[in-house]
């Protein structure tokens, strides 16, 4: 049973470009969580999704950020018109149901030039 997979592991974008981060949860997991880790800080919750539904997006910036978890395929975190402050490690975690332990992926390191 493969763990949570994220790709790409490293992503470099110039200011104004779009960044797409992918997360494939563990098999049998239908709950996905996205977190951001800024330098020198801990993990910050961004959004919680179930298949085809956004359950809680209270941690996600209102502009430029969006997330989806379609019926088929990975969950996508999309950042439009990236700025330098978006540079961070973005982690995805999955769980089989709400309230269960979350299994974390290796993260995507986004660098905005």
Partner 1 sequence: EDKVVQSPLSLVVHEGDTVTLNCSYEVTNFRSLLWYKQEKKAPTFLFMLTSSGIEKKSGRLSSILDKKELFSILNITATQTGDSAIYLCAVEAGDTGNQFYFGTGTSLTVIP
Q: Which residues bind partner 1 (CB under 8 A)?
A: 9, 33, 35, 37, 41-45, 48, 56, 59, 89, 91, 101-104, 106-107, 109
Checking DSSP bridges between strand 10-13 and strand 108-112, what pairing results, if any? parallel
Q: By C-beta, is 9 or 27 nearer to partner 1? A: 9
Least distance in Å: CB of 72 to partner 1?
A: 25
Residue closer to partner 1, measured from CB, 82 or 92: 92
The length of the chain, given as a count of residues: 113
Distance in Å, CB of 91 to partner 1, minimum? 7
Count of helices and strands (H, E) across the chain: 0, 11
Residues 6+ apart with CB under 8 A from 67: 34, 46, 47, 49, 54, 57, 60, 75, 76, 77, 78
Give the residue with the Cβ less far from partner 1, 30 or 59: 59
């Amino acid at each position: 049973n493969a763990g949570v997979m994220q790709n790409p592991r490293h992503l470099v974008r110039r200011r104004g470009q779009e960044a797409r981060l992918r997360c494939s949860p563990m098999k049998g997991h239908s709950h996905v969580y996205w977190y951001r880790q800024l330098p020198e800080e801990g993990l910050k919750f961004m959004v919680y999704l179930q298949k085809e539904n956004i359950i809680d997006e209270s941690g996600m910036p209102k502009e430029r950020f969006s997330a989806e978890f379609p019926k088929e395929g990975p969950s996508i975190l999309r950042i439009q018109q990236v700025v330098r402050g978006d540079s961070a490690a973005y982690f995805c975690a999955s769980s089989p149901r709400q309230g269960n332990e979350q299994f974390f992926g290796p993260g995507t390191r986004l660098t905005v030039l």
